[in-house]
Structure 1
Amino acid sequence: MSATDRVALVTGAARGQGAAIVRRLVTDGYRVTAADLLIDELESSTTEFGDQVLAVGLDVTSAEQWQAAVTATVERFGGLTALVNNAGVLHRASIAEETPAGFEAAWRVNCLGPFLGLQAALAALRAADGAAVVNTCSTGAVRPFPHHAAYGSSKWALRGFTQVAAAELGRDGIRVNAVFPGPVQTPMLDETTQVRLAERATLGRLGQPTEIADAVAFLLSDQASFITGAELLVDGGQCLQIG
């Protein structure tokens, strides 16, 4: 299947990694549904792509909104071949100070959201040729970071969910993989945190959103047609560090 036959749904698409993924996929010839809660910002950032991109509001914790987004995609573009579960929230708190509400909120976005998305998209993906899913995980699902109990555990759960989905859906022709970004220069990290992480980085800098987008585009492509259940670290060597 050529890229021009492919349709992707990307969450968390208004800014940062998500916006970079949308741009990269459009450049590769995909038609894309860009989804985010920040609908005004999303519409502004996708206007330049014209008919190639459909902007939709989406709360990834809502099964009903997921179904509406998938339906709108299929109605607009005639199908769905790729799902990129990129939306996520970074939530920091010590175990002693964490709250049940804060813990659950992180899990609902970071883990429940991708589950609901795959479930809503499953029929369309099964009907497609060369269907693929990429989940945005985190180096927080490779090594433990203090004060990240909710975020880290939710990303560990997403890592496990990716593996289960890959094993379960392979015979349906659906590949499921994950990217594990390290520190990336996006609005998710405040300036002070970016400076601190860059000073400690193995390669001496933060990652760029386009570098995550390149990894996602590869995992969706025909060049990765024999890859499923894979975990692609795009972290500039963060997981090589001790302590």
Structure 2
Amino acid sequence: MGDAGVLIREWRQRRHFSQLELASRAEVSTRHLSWIETGRSRPTSAMVLRLCDHLEVPLREQNAVLLAAGHAPAHPEHGLGEAPMAELNTALETILAAHHPYPALVVDRRWELVAANDAAYGLLEGVDPAVLEPPINVIRLSIDPRGLAGRIINGAQWRAHLAARLRREYDATADPFLGALHDEVLAAGELDHLGVTAALVTPLELRAADGGVLSFVSTTTVFGTPREVTLSELAIEAFYPADAATRQALAATARA
């Protein structure tokens, strides 16, 4: 019971809310919230979910708070290979196929590769097979000299982009794995924060196998209003040509 209060307080502080602000948003008394945080009052499951909703606590961590308060998890979690996820897998396959000839991939909450289309796998030509042993972490793949790091032309700019994104994701989720991954990016080499700030969109400039340069801009897509843990943690990273030369090169590869 006390552990649930500690978790709620940690999330409140992470979101930079005072007790008064959170109590006002959740429409509870400051005294009751204080009692919950100190373990003097056991919150109902509805109260836990209400507080977590206002604190934007991820679904996985909401379940952890519920368990700490002595309640059953509210959000189901399934493996991608389980029957309830069949329609999700079909949707992901449809999205990836429709994006061809442009690269697209699906990653989980820790940036491990879930699926990719042929165009994305085509960018991995020449990568050390040892780096491609599953599970493949996409962030590590992009900063590893045996992976894509040696072919990323704007490496300092791209690393700064990755570091900023990982910092935001760590702040949002409190996942220590993401914090450690952020530190790995910092240790991988110089960061060009000014280059990221000056650009309208941070491109990924990649040297192709034939010596040409492929330039991409990326978008991230997540499922709207997910209530299942695995689904809430998936992201589709789609890459689009940033210039005509890249568009033509990808079209030519698709025709071949």
Q: Same fold (TM over 0.5)?
A: no
Higher share of residues assigned strand: 1
Structure 2 length as normaliser, TM-score?
Answer: 0.25
